Amino acid sequence: MTIDEYLNRLNEKSQQIFNDSIKESSLFGKAHNTASHIYEFSELITDVNERQMLLSVSSQLEYSVLNLTLGLYRQSFFSLRLALEIGLGTVHFSIHKLEHQEWINGVADIKWATIIDEDNGILSKRFAKAFFPELDSYISSERSKTIATYRALSEYVHGNKETWTKSGLVLEYDQELLKNFFDQYDIVGEVILFALSCRYLKSTKDFDLDSVDFLKVELNHIDPIRQLFTR
167 or 20, which is more confident: 20
Mean pLDDT of 148-161: 83
Per-residue pLDDT of 162-218, as tens digits, reads 555 555 557 899 999 999 999 999 999 999 999 999 999 998 777 888 899 999 999
Q: What is the predicted pLDDT for the residue at 5? A: 87
Find the domain containing 190 and state its range.
3-228
N- to C-terminal Cα separation, the chain: 67
Number of domains in the chain: 1
- Which own/partner pairs from 90-96 qualify as long-range (CB within 8 Å, at least 24 positions apart)? 90/50, 90/53, 90/54, 90/57, 90/196, 91/122, 91/195, 91/196, 91/198, 91/199, 92/121, 92/122, 93/49, 93/50, 93/53, 94/47, 94/50, 94/199, 95/199
Per-residue pLDDT of 5-17, as tens digits, reads 888 999 899 999 9
Rounded Cα gap, residues 183 and 181, in angstroms: 5
Q: What is the predicted pLDDT for the residue at 69? A: 97
210 or 88, which is more confident: 88
Mean pLDDT of 75-81: 95
Indicate the residue type of 16.
Answer: Q
